[in-house]
Amino acid sequence: MPVSRHGGTVRWSLRLVFGALIVFLYLPILFMVVFSFDEGATPGLPITGFTLHWYEAMLNNRVLLRAVGNSIIVAVIVSILATIIGTMAAFVLVRARIRFPNATRIAFTLPIMVPGVLIGVSLLIYFARVLDFSLSLGTVIAGHLVVTVPFVVLIVASRLQSFDRFLEWAAADLGASPRQAIRHIVLPLIAPAILAGALISVTLSIDEFVITWFTVGSQPTLPTFIYTRVKFGVTPEVNAVATVMLVLTLGTLGLAGVAMGRARRLTGRMRRRRQAG
């Protein structure tokens, strides 16, 4: 066989590339976490000793805590609004016959594709120069909605598309009104996708830096606070904040992943059952 002569070598070198990529991807994060426990006032190698001092400093930093508070307020409002608005839009997008289906789809993918810096600066002109709004957490929320709503729309729409409409028609045959069918049949079945959209909105909003940087007023969010701190000198407690954020983000995304997996299994099971029956 001509294939197997180099097959082993190719396979091993590819495995090596894979290993190197994993190291490359995790090394910086690992160092950040390690440095958050480093005793030295300017964290770096070699590690001088273990301390929880930076976590303590983090918890005593008033400005930092206020920034965290702002981020949480923004994220909660953004995710509630984006989830409701995005889910409603997804229903129309999948089920109603809209006039320009392709153009609409593109309009909803554009905010995800276009670099955030363009959304940020155009909103800055719009708010500050055209509408004469003063920049505040409200303008930050508006900016975050531009990217989170499309995410929810795409996630929920893709679930709705694979949804088995026979279930709804069965409900209608049994006397349910369209409203009842949606409330008792459709929503519970696509709930995992909606939940995933909500959780992804939360993480997107908490981590959002670029759009926030241009639309934020005098109250910083956590990422804009960290950025100004890091730009103007070494602040070891940032490593501690980063580690906490890392753990929280991964936790939220884990939940989102579980929700998506559940949604996939649910629709899969329904389809199998129908094919069997």
Residues in 24-63 that interact with other proteins by CB under 8 A: 24-29, 31-32, 35, 42-46
Q: Between 99 and 118, how does the x/- string for binding to other proteins read (CB under 8 A)?
A: -------xxxxxxxxxxxxx
Q: Which amino acid is located at 84 in the chain?
A: I
For other proteins, which is the closer residue by CB, 58 or 145? 145
Q: How far is the CB of 238 from other proteins (least distance, A)?
A: 7
Q: Between 148 and 167, how does the x/- string for binding to other proteins read (CB under 8 A)?
A: -xxx-xxx--x------x--
Length of the chain: 277
Site for other proteins in 60-89 (CB under 8 A): 84-86, 88-89
By the rule CB under 8 A, 230 interacts with other proteins: yes
Among 96, 218, 232, 276, binds other proteins (CB under 8 A): 96
C-alpha span between 150 and 81 (Å, rounded): 12
The answer to whether the CB of 40 falls within 8 A of the CB of 239 is: no
C-alpha span between 49 and 28 (Å, rounded): 19
Selected range binding other proteins among 57-65, 184-192, 242-250, 266-274, rule: CB under 8 A: 242-250
Q: How far is the CB of 113 from other proteins (least distance, A)?
A: 6
Paired strand residues for 42: none
By the rule CB under 8 A, 22 interacts with other proteins: yes
By the rule CB under 8 A, 231 interacts with other proteins: yes
* Residue 97, both tokens: 């016959």
In sequence order, what DSSP letters do the residues of 59-108 get, joined into one string? Answer: HH-HHHHHHHHHHHHHHHHHHHHHHHHHHHHHHHHHHS--S-HHHHHHHH
